Amino acid sequence: MREPPLRILSRGSSPPRSAWLDEALAGLGHELRTSGPAGEDLSLVLVHDASSTTRDEVAAWRDRGIRVVRVAHLDPEDFEREAALAAAFDLVLTPGLAEMVRLYASAGARALPLLPAAPPELLPQGPDASPPPKRDIDILFAGRLDGPGRAPRVEFLRRASKRWKVAVATRPGDWPGALPLEARTLALLHRRARIAFHLEAVLTVRSGVTRSLPGVRPFAGPSAGCLLLAHLVPWMNHAYDTAEEIAPYSDVDHALEVAREHLEDPARLERVARAGSARCRAEHSWRDRALLIEALARGETPLSLAVLARGPWYQRIELPGGVFTSHLRYSNEKRWQRLLPHFPDPRGKTVLDLGANAGFFALECARRGAARAVALDSDPLACEQARFVRSVFGEDALEIVEADLSEAPPGPFDLVLGLGLAHHMPDLGRFLSLLLSRAPLAFLEWEVRDHPHRREIEDVRTAAASLGARAILLEGGKRPIVRLEAGASEATGGASA
């Protein structure tokens, strides 16, 4: 049985996001007011602009038992303008992840992340939605081109416009033939474009937070059915499977190459664009965000928001209720499926997972009966994530150690995992020696790439043999999997396969 609707007072505006969110809450059947007295019957006051209220007014609402939530749509700038008021609210909702949550905590405020969502006019409205017009624009960019941190956008667009049909919506005078940054124009342009180009303007503001927080733009293109060509920043894994649902790039040269690959392969472009569009329809509407606010107003903290508060996550771990810590399947799920056929039964064994990140592989060992599974990582955020996962599952066999590799517990362990590390190690022999000093059996998996260090299979075999060990190739390709056994080198009669 559905609970009675909320009575919500919406104060201030931060267009267009505040209007989209208010409309979505009203669409759920809640009563939205934008003016009038704040009576005792109010369930929630939603403050979109802190200048629309005062500390005394917020205190009066809270004294009457009314929950007051600030939606800081424009963080970190909103935080810098009003940090002194942040602690007055019951809760601040920020588009930032752990970095912004910690910043608000430093000001005495409780904060949780609330990602932006797709512009409503771009999402298909049911199965009878009109078909899109012909996609006659190769690449679309919508956003600012002036100011610091935006020069790479201009460079990409100048070079791309020499090869393809490029449309640019920006401020007048910032681009020849610039189209207006107006909602109806943008909606039509996105429906005509094959690729939507997005590049974060990475700036550091006074609070020290990097200004590359989630915005609306990365949700606009996919919601309209075009491929998102996006600078790969960590938060993006919470919006898409960046390996399958968007076209990620690292720099301008790479962006041009990725654009060429997709424009020359229409089937691939269509496949990835459809996947990104499906993700937007399933998870990134303002109705989805309104449902989260509904839960918060009723005193619940959705698990998905607790996950984002510890983000960005790299590893994808499924939590209760079908909540995932990340959308990136290849970060660990697909790698685990490759490793599993070769992996020994961990029941009753002790396992050390080096460079564990959020602890997925150690968790899998613990859930399969390991007597002790130690997840070690030097990154404080990764260890916080691992501790959160352990608490969610109540997995007593899982231990979290925040330390460098050289400070790994001495053990001895039955087996040690060195996954995704070899290509980061400047001294491969020293790395293998560390593994073998902790356990007689180790599993390695790494990426064969030029940076930071290229490690071929023969390099691992040679280094292992120099330590009197045997390296057995289990899976080849760009991400080899090797079983490392102590005291069984080719020199002592063992054979590497």
Tens digits of per-residue pLDDT, 66-85? 999 999 999 999 999 999 99
Domains for the chain: give ranges and CATH numbers: 7-114+285-308 (3.40.50.2000), 120-283 (3.40.50.2000), 330-492 (3.40.50.150)
Structure tokens at 296: 């918060």
Residues contacting residue 137 through CB under 8 Å, at least 6 positions apart: 165, 166, 167, 189, 192, 193, 194
Smallest CA-to-CA distance from 331 within 419, 262, 449, 219 is with 419
Does 491 have pLDDT greater than 90?
Answer: no
Give alpha helix (H) positions in 329-447: 333-339, 360-367, 380-393, 428-438
CB proximity list for 6: less than 8 A, separation 6 or greater: 25, 30, 31, 43, 44, 294, 297, 298
pLDDT band at 184 (very low <50, low <70, confident <90, very high): very high
DSSP 8-state class, residue 134: P
Q: Round to whole Å and give the CA distance between 234 and 220.
A: 19
Q: What CA–CA distance (Å, rounded) separates 177 from 179?
A: 6
Question: What's the gap between Cα 275 and its chain centre?
Answer: 17
Q: Residues 39-65: pLDDT tens digits? A: 668 999 999 999 999 999 999 999 999
Does residue 328 sit in helix, strand or coil?
coil
* Global model pTM greater than 0.85: yes
pLDDT of residue 213: 79
User: CA 238 → CA 216, 247, 304, 397, distances in Å?
Assistant: 14, 15, 10, 28
Q: What does the pLDDT look like over 22-41, one tens digit per residue?
A: 999 999 999 999 876 656 68
Average pLDDT over residues 208-226: 84
Residue found under tokens 């629309």: 52
458-467: long-range contacts, CB 8 A cutoff, minimum separation 24: 459/428, 460/422, 460/428, 460/432, 460/484, 461/496, 463/428, 463/429, 463/432, 464/432, 464/489, 464/496, 465/489, 465/490, 465/491, 465/496, 466/429, 467/429, 467/432, 467/433, 467/436
| Bridge partners of residue 230, in order along the sequence | 198, 248
Instruction: Tell the residue number behind the tokens 């303008």, with chain if given.
Output: 81
**Number of residues that this document lists for the chain:** 497
Is residue 128 scored above 60 in pLDDT?
no
Q: Name every residue whose Cβ is closer than 8 Å to that of residue 130 and which is 6 or more positions away in sequence.
A: none
Per the model's pLDDT, the better-predicted residue between 203 and 383 turns out to be 383
The pLDDT of residue 457 = 95
Top-confidence residue, 476 or 450: 476
Inform me whether the pLDDT recorded for 132 exceeds 90.
no
Mean per-residue pLDDT over the chain, rounded: 93
DSSP annotation of 348 reads T
Task: List C-alpha distances in Å: 240 to 14, 67, 73, 95, 195.
Answer: 26, 32, 21, 16, 16
SS3 at position 465: helix
Quick one: which H or E segment has residue 69? strand 67-71
Cβ contact 255:229 at 8 Å? yes
Identify the band that residue 489 occupies on the pLDDT scale cut at 50, 70 and 90. low
Q: What is the pLDDT of residue 147?
A: 78
- What is the tens place of the pLDDT at every residue in 375-434? 999 999 999 999 999 999 999 999 999 999 999 999 899 999 999 999 999 999 999 999
| DSSP per position, 237-302 | GGTS-TTTTSEEESSHHHHHHHHHHHHT-HHHHHHHHHHHHHHHHHH-SHHHHHHHHHHHHTT---
Placement of tokens 């009723």 in the chain: 298
What would the pLDDT profile of 153-171 be if each residue is shown by its tens digit?
A: 999 999 999 999 999 999 9
d(CA 411, CA 19): 57
